[in-house]
Each structure stands twice: as structure tokens, then as C-alpha cells.
Amino acid sequence: MTMGQLARQLDVPITYLSDVERDTRPAMSAERIGRAAAILGANVEEGLKAAAARGGSFKLPAGVSPIGQDAGASLMRTWAALSDEDFSQLRAWLDERTKGGSGLR
């Protein structure tokens, strides 16, 4: 697939994708990364990790419930202190809840 074909399917200008590729624009949103991964048959989590590495942080939408905002704030507060075991347990819990990564049941 060409960059032009992907841009058309994502409904963005080809210059946008080119700018993202050349690091002259911020990484795509998580939603757009998900759409691109689906179109390309790629692993969405790899795309999200690459975007986070490039931007220096993971970005989550704040437009969720107050409880969701509290959970996000707790993750931000404790992130650096979590161990690999903590991350593994969190990941396993999330994977169980999402059953394949398509969202919560």
C-alpha cells in the first residue's frame, strides 16, 4: 500500500502522513494509529508504543468518567514506581477484560 492510499483511507492529507513520518508533526492519535494498524494488518500496540517512545509519554484521552480520570491520575502518579511484575499483572488484567484488544466488554 502506498502512503497516498493509506492517507485516503485515513481521510488525511498525504502531507500529514509524510510530516508524521519525518517527525515534523506529532505522532498520530491513538484512534488514528488503531485505524492505520487495522488497514495495514499491523499490531496496534507496536504503533502505540512507537508513538509513546517518540513523544516521550503515553497519552490518554481525558474525556472519560470521573472514575476513569481518577484511575488515569493514579497511573500517572505511580507509573515510575511500578515493577515489571506490576506491569505484567496490569497487562494480564487488561487483556482479560478486553479479550483481544478491541475494547472493554
**Residues 78-97: pLDDT tens digits?**
999 999 999 999 999 999 99
pLDDT of residue 103: 54
The H-or-E segment that residue 69 falls in is helix 66-78
Radius of gyration of the chain (CA): 16
Distance CA 35, CA 57 (A): 21
What is the average pLDDT score of the chain? 90
**pTM for this prediction:** 0.72
pLDDT of residue 5: 96
Nearest-5° Cα angle at 30, 29 to 31: 90
Confidence of residue 104 (pLDDT cuts 50, 70, 90): very low
Per CATH, the number for 1-59 is: 1.10.260.40
Confidence of residue 101 (pLDDT cuts 50, 70, 90): low
Torsion, Cα of 83, 30, 52, 98 (10° steps): 20
pLDDT of residue 105: 38
For the chain, the domains span 1-59, 62-105
Torsion, Cα of 101, 46, 92, 32 (10° steps): -30
